[in-house]
Structure 1
């Protein structure tokens, strides 16, 4: 929000400077993100083949664990499915384990609707300070080069919308979803809140979530004591009962009118929402700005695995900052 309200004088605002206080630990965590230390436990080897099915139909050869592991390694090392198959074959050969490696067509087919393993949810039932945001991810289709080189009219560019919920306390993604680009952000909020393990004490979001449906949903899920910080639009007006029983939105509107929007941001801590935008940039840098899968169900699996990869990297080490200027 600051760049929108200060665009005319942005060059006159000094840039804040910070210093990392735990550089040695954080530096080691960054090294571990590229550490290729692979082992397969006896339990994992026992779970590699698929269990026998008791109903009619073909017998699957690989378990969901095997498919998920292959897709995860392919995403971490940014490999297509064929190269992922080769990577897993080389790892199995180096470790000297006798396991069958899924081929690329099996990985593509099984990733559709893949049930990911249940993991320990970040937060562990503790109070969550939730920041929710969304971003667009490109999908397979004609690109700018086709239009520039061959002067052809490409089809309407298609996108998928990735919704992420970040816990400010743990720094981990606690909820996520992938939808079509026409789905609104407030529409996905109930599904995101279902994934949060524990109470939410603070909710931060941009103006797209402004409105009674969001506030009523949060109050019904987590009680009336939840602190909701959503910026109202410029033309927002007070509710009819603002004088007798003001809502949180009414108080935000009054504070913005009396103190200004920038002062309201600092007073309410709304500036912390920038960590949600940082998470989106981190996703597009570490994972990818584009989805590799072509089917929607495969794309949802790809997004779910990406969330686990980022959380695993966060668990290796986080920087601690202090402001110096």
Structure 2
């Protein structure tokens, strides 16, 4: 795999040439599945491995390339049924939220035309375990804080927890 890390240039008629052959993408995704890493951490881990191997000429495929190409390789990600999930014995859950705009003009447009745009925001609250699996989720208005939805998120978790943290 290392010999052909970036050697294959395949052009399928759309976009630019592929910098990484399928074997490289598959190796990265296999490492990801074994270590249960998110895509960004997989990219960083592979870059670190290449650095340890003293191969400054090689670089990991970026996380968006890994994501886009994963669907074309036919790899299957393990899925677990209720009762088989290895995360069912998690001890901790982290709860955090993110906001997103529902409707309204973007900031650039408002600034350019000196408009006072009225925006509506929603908040998505997530309960995530150590393996980065979402255990519970809730969509609320922008004014709801994480501590206000703890009970509703915990109702979605079907196993015992030792700790819950929030930001």
Cα displacement string for residues 112-142 of structure 1 (whole angstroms, at most 9, x for unaligned residues): xxxxxxx746555313311111121122212
C-alpha spacing 1:23/1:34, structure 2 compared with 1 (3 Å):
farther
When residues 32 and 139 of structure 1 are mapped into structure 2, their CA distance, relative to the original with a 3 A threshold, is same
| 1:37 and 2:37 are equivalent in the alignment | no
Structure 2 residue runs without a partner (length 5+): 1-43, 51-59, 75-79
- Local SS of the residue matching 2:88: coil
Are residues 145 and 124 of structure 1, via their aligned partners in 2, closer, same or farther at CA, if it must alter by over 3 Å?
closer
1:140-159 to 2 correspondences below 5 Å: 140-155=103-118, 157-159=119-121
CA deviations 1:72-126 (Å, max 9, x no partner) are xxxxxxxxxxxxxxxxxxxxxxxxxxxxxxxxxxxxxxxxxxxxxxx74655531
- The residue number in structure 1 matching 2:129 is 167
1:165-194 per-position Cα deviation (integer Å, ceiling 9, x unaligned): 1212x2222211111112232221111111
Instruction: Name the CA shift for 1:150/1:171 in 2 (closer, same or farther; >3 Å).
Output: closer
Count of residue pairs brought into register by the alignment? 105
Cα distance, 1:199 vs structure 2: 1.0
Q: CA deviation at 1:160?
A: 0.7
Number of the residue aligned with 2:145:
184
Cα distance in 2 for residues equivalent to 1:164 and 1:123: 20
Q: What residue number does 1:199 align with?
A: 160
Give the 5 Å matches for 1:275-286.
none
TM-score, structure 1 as length reference: 0.28
Q: Which has the higher contact order (CA 8 A, sep 6+)?
A: 1
Superposition CA RMSD, Å: 3.1
Aligned equivalents of 2:61, 2:116: Cα separation in 1: 49
SS in 1 for 2:109: helix
Structure with bigger helix share is: 1
Normalised to the residue count of structure 2, the TM-score between the two structures is 0.50
Query: Separation in 2 of the partners of 1:160 and 1:123?
Result: 32
Question: 3-state DSSP class of the match of 1:174?
Answer: strand
Does the residue aligned with 1:138 lie in a helix, a strand or coil? strand
1:139 partner SS: strand
